[in-house]
């Protein structure tokens, strides 16, 4: 009987899973395999929030497989060595996996292909597992990738997507292939107190609820910080417990401008992936450099520490940074503002902020995180690279009566209305009683310094 392996990586689901469908389609036995590879951890993955979410995902995947007569096989070690070992144990001829874009994933795929072919086995890499449109599927006439989102989105929208695939009904796993014990969320320490739950079951539940009662107001409410009216599906898209193809198809099927605005955000995700696939160095180096000489030294280090702790003295910035620590997630508007504040108002290196985000974000993702940081730092794909977000103006627009700040900054919980955005204006002794810090820098001074640095003053 033919045996195939499905190597799961960032695609921890059974529904709409082309590699799994192809393996099951052969009619033989299937080894659903996940490898905990220390090299992935060394590359920066092993942070508590993502490890805890991953534990949920693996347990849910195993439960889904067991309902179908199968089980998940977990191995620990170098991915290539472990896949070859399992392939030999199970006498598997075919190995199926999803394509991925990071430099790490590309090297892994090349090594795996070589090792498997040397053993007389074949590796099949499936696209549109982690993206709706594969990187490189649409390109401009003169380049291997789009460097600007709007023309990319136009072409992306014209693509017809493949059909959404059902989860297989039954899976037979060869009995002789053993598994290491699955991790448990409770074994991970240092997890954010309000971290969300992982797993395909939870992802599908959230997505269905979102289509029923969230997506219809997306266009008007997605920037409302206190309203918290976005889908919060980013961790599920990151771990692949939801399929981007299915998300786009089902969102489109609900119809209307709000659903389209939502689908546009999924296109941003694909956009960053096609940039990273073409320019893997953009994970660590400026995509478009301005030869910035970011500040360093003692003052810069102290300001970076205040930013990380949510003690910059700017309540909206601090609220977002504290949400990140508490939930392992931050609202997009908060991400934009805190990134602008670090890179432009404080004029500190975007890599410093990107690393802190990756240390905490449950959806922390090389393509989305590094390229959004670069976008905001003006070293990426933004066509207005010197835009600076003002925390007071952002507060007025996106948290007009201060509810978001009061939720996350307890020192200011008793300050009513919009006054919460400028605590330095409170009368004494009320201001001192809050214990909230003074601004680390004046906005005018920060702006002037940034303009000088970019040669614009």
Instruction: List residues near ligand FAD by CB under 6 A.
Output: 222, 230-234, 237-238, 265-266, 268-269, 272, 332, 335-336, 339, 357, 361, 363-365, 368-369, 372-373, 376
Q: Which parts of 148-211 are beta strand (E)?
A: none
Q: Write down the least CB distance from residue 260 to ligand FAD, Å.
A: 13
Spatial separation of the C-alpha atoms in residues 406 and 136, rounded to whole Å: 45
Please identify, using beta-carbon distances, which residue of 112 and 366 lies nearer to ligand FAD: 366
Please identify, using beta-carbon distances, which residue of 389 and 412 lies nearer to ligand FAD: 389
∠309-314-316 over CA atoms, to 5°?
Answer: 85
Is 363 part of any known ligand binding site?
yes
Q: Give how far the C-alpha of residue 355 lies from the chain's centroid of Cα atoms, to the nearest Å.
A: 13
> CB–CB of 200/54 below 8 Å?
no
Could you tell me the two tokens for 362? Answer: 């449950």
Could you tell me the two tokens for 344? Answer: 């432009």
Could you tell me the two tokens for 296? Answer: 């360093």
Q: Write down the least CB distance from residue 263 to ligand FAD, Å.
A: 9
Please identify, using beta-carbon distances, which residue of 372 and 390 lies nearer to ligand FAD: 372
Please identify, using beta-carbon distances, which residue of 153 and 357 lies nearer to ligand FAD: 357
Is 232 part of any known ligand binding site?
yes
Q: Write down the least CB distance from residue 80 to ligand FAD, Å.
A: 27
Spatial separation of the C-alpha atoms in residues 153 and 130, rounded to whole Å: 17
Please identify, using beta-carbon distances, which residue of 131 and 434 lies nearer to ligand FAD: 131
Cis peptide before 456 (omega within 30 of 0): no
Q: Write down the least CB distance from residue 121 to ligand FAD, Å.
A: 34
Spatial separation of the C-alpha atoms in residues 106 and 100, rounded to whole Å: 7
Q: Write down the least CB distance from residue 75 to ligand FAD, Å.
A: 27
Spatial separation of the C-alpha atoms in residues 415 and 373, rounded to whole Å: 32
Could you tell me the two tokens for 171? Answer: 């899976």
Please identify, using beta-carbon distances, which residue of 171 and 275 lies nearer to ligand FAD: 275
Three-state helix/strand/coil letters over 290-338: CCCCCCCCHHHHHHHHHHHHCCCCCHHHHHHHHHHHHHCCCCHHHHHHH
Q: Write down the least CB distance from residue 228 to ligand FAD, Å.
A: 9
DSSP conformational letter for 429: T
SS3 content of the chain, % helix, strand, coil (to 5): 55, 5, 40
Q: Write down the least CB distance from residue 15 to ligand FAD, Å.
A: 17
Is 364 part of any known ligand binding site?
yes
Spatial separation of the C-alpha atoms in residues 401 and 106, rounded to whole Å: 47
Q: Write down the least CB distance from residue 109 to ligand FAD, Å.
A: 22
Please identify, using beta-carbon distances, which residue of 4 and 343 lies nearer to ligand FAD: 343
Is 406 part of any known ligand binding site?
no
- Could you tell me which of 152, 103, 98 has the C-alpha nearest to residue 269? 152
Q: Give how far the C-alpha of residue 409 lies from the chain's centroid of Cα atoms, to the nearest Å.
A: 25
∠391-394-398 over CA atoms, to 5°?
Answer: 140
Q: How many CA atoms, within 13 angstroms, populate the side-chain half-sphere of residue 269?
A: 25
Please identify, using beta-carbon distances, which residue of 3 and 369 lies nearer to ligand FAD: 369
Q: Write down the least CB distance from residue 357 to ligand FAD, Å.
A: 6
Three-state helix/strand/coil letters over 207-240: HHHHHHHCHHHHHHHCCCCCCCCCCCCHHHHHHC
Is 287 part of any known ligand binding site?
no
Please identify, using beta-carbon distances, which residue of 232 and 252 lies nearer to ligand FAD: 232
User: What residues are designated binding site for FAD?
Assistant: 218, 230-234, 262, 363-365
Specify binding-site residues. 218, 230-234, 262, 363-365
């Amino acid at each position: 009987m033919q045996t195939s392996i499905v190597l799961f990586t960032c695609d921890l689901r059974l529904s709409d899973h082309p590699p799994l469908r192809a393996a099951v389609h052969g009619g033989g036995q299937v080894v659903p395999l996940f490898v905990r590879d220390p090299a992935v951890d060394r590359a920066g993955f092993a942070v508590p929030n993502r490890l805890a979410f991953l534990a949920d995902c693996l347990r849910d995947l195993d439960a889904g497989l067991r309902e179908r007569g199968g089980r998940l096989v977990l191995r620990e070690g170098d991915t290539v060595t472990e896949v070859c070992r399992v392939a030999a144990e199970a006498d598997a001829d075919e190995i199926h996996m999803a394509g991925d874009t990071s430099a790490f994933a590309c090297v892994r795929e090349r090594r795996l292909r070589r090792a498997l072919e040397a053993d007389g086995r074949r590796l099949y890499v499936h696209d549109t597992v982690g993206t709706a449109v594969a990187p490189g599927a649409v390109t401009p006439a003169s380049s291997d990738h789009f460097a600007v989102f709007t023309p990319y989105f136009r072409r992306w929208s014209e693509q017809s997507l493949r059909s959404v695939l059902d989860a297989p009904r039954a899976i037979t796993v060869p009995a002789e292939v053993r598994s290491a014990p699955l991790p448990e969320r409770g074994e991970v320490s240092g997890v954010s107190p309000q971290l969300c739950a992982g797993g395909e079951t939870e992802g599908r539940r959230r997505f269905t609820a979102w289509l029923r009662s969230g997506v219809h107001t997306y266009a008007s409410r997605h920037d409302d910080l206190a309203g918290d009216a976005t889908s919060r599906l980013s961790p599920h898209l990151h771990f692949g417990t939801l399929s981007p193809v299915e998300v786009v198809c089902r969102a489109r099927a609900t119809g209307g401008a709000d659903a389209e605005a939502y689908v546009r955000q999924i296109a941003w995700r694909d956009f960053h992936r096609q940039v990273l696939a073409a320019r893997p160095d953009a994970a660590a180096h400026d995509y478009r450099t301005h030869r910035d000489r970011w500040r360093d030294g003692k003052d810069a280090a102290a300001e970076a520490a205040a930013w990380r702790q949510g003690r910059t003295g700017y309540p909206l910035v601090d609220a977002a940074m504290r949400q990140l620590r508490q939930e392992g997630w931050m609202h997009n508007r908060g991400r934009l503002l805190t990134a602008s504040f670090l890179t432009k108002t404080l004029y500190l290196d975007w890599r410093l902020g990107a690393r802190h985000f990756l240390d905490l974000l449950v959806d922390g993702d090389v393509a989305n995180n590094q390229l959004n940081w670069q976008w905001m730092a003006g070293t990426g794909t933004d066509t207005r690279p010197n835009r600076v977000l003002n925390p007071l103006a952002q507060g007025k627009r996106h948290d007009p009566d201060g509810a978001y700040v009061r939720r996350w900054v307890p020192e200011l919980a008793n300050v009513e209305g919009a006054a919460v955005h400028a605590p330095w204006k409170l009368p004494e002794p009320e201001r001192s009683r809050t214990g909230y810090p003074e601004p680390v820098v004046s906005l005018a001074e920060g702006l002037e310094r940034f303009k000088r640095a970019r040669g614009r003053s």
